Amino acid sequence: DQQVKQNSPSLSVQEGRISILNCDYTNSMFDYFLWYKKYPAEGPTFLISISSIKDKNEDGRFTVFLNKSAKHLSLHIVPSQPGDSAVYFCAATFTGGGNKLTFGTGTQLKVEL
Amino acid sequence: NAGVTQTPKFQVLKTGQSMTLQCAQDMNHEYMSWYRQDPGMGLRLIHYSVGAGITDQGEVPNGYNVSRSTTEDFPLRLLSAAPSQTSVYFCASTGMGGDTQYFGPGTRLTVL
């Protein structure tokens, strides 16, 4: 039972354009969501997060949108850069969950010149 | 700060062998976790700890043991390795009240 789903295994975008990565969840208990970025042969690194009390959080080129009624979140990267090419994981947790993260399966983003 | 460190980076075992994957953090974080990453499966939680002396099971704990005798170290033990345990293993830590998990570089384990 996949509680966090990333239905697009891969995404290809041209440099300078917008990248939109999507994530859906099924567990209504989740109230905190995170995006991690992973390069080959490295551990995931934290990118941006959002609490369920918000519907948008922005950090530089990265914005995460949360639609609680649809149980959907998305990560927007504008403008996309070749260094953004990596695997992006969506993760979710809940208050009192002891920081246990439930991850999606990841989306491989390729930003082409 | 070295952050979260993991050893070894690579390991090949034969079925039935035992080994310990080491994880250490120098950030004085209370929470530590072990995940495994398999193709098409994302990262799945194996075991976690909320402080020294306290551990609990995650989503896929079978075949693995953990202990937490100090704040800094959180080793993962495979008592009798099986081919199904071939994976990349990541250790992570978070401070109390923190919302970001810091991951180590991973250990790539192959069980023949």
pLDDT, position B61: 96
Nearest chain B residue to A47 by CA: give it.
Answer: B100
Query: Confidence band (pLDDT; 50, 70, 90) for A100?
Result: confident
How far apart are the two ends of chain A, measured CA to CA in Å? Answer: 38
List of chain A residues whose C-beta atoms are within 8 Å of the C-beta of residue B44: 103
Token reading at B45: 């939680």
pLDDT, position A64: 98
Inter-chain Cβ pairs, chain A and chain B, closer than 8 A: 60
Which amino acid is it at A74? S
A43: nearest CB among B48, B56, B106? B106
Query: Which of the residues in chain B have pLDDT under 70?
Result: 97-99
**A99/B101 touch (CB, cutoff 8 Å), yes or no:** yes
A 30-69: CB under 8 A from B: 32, 34, 36, 41-46, 49
Token reading at B92: 């992570």
Residue A103 touches chain B, beta carbons under 8 Å: yes
For A6-62, how does the pLDDT look when each residue is reduced to its tens digit (9 = 90+)?
999 999 999 999 999 999 999 999 999 999 999 998 999 999 999 999 999 999 999
Of A15, A51, A43, the residue nearest B33 (C-alpha): A43
Cβ pair B6, B23 in contact under 8 A: yes
Phi and psi torsions of A84, nearest 5°: -80, -10
For A62-94, how does the pLDDT look when each residue is reduced to its tens digit (9 = 90+)?
999 999 999 999 999 999 999 999 999 999 998
CA distance B11 to chain A (A): 14
Inform me whether the pLDDT recorded for A99 exceeds 80: no
Classify each residue of B11-41 as buried b or exposed e, where b means 16 or more C-beta atoms within 10 Å of its C-beta. Answer: bebeeeeebebbbbbeeebbbbbbbbbeeee
Residue B38: CB partners within 8 Å, gap ≥ 6?
B44, B87, B88
Q: Please give the Cα distance from A108 to B70 (Å, whole number).
A: 37
Of B95, B93, B73, the residue nearest B32 (C-alpha): B93
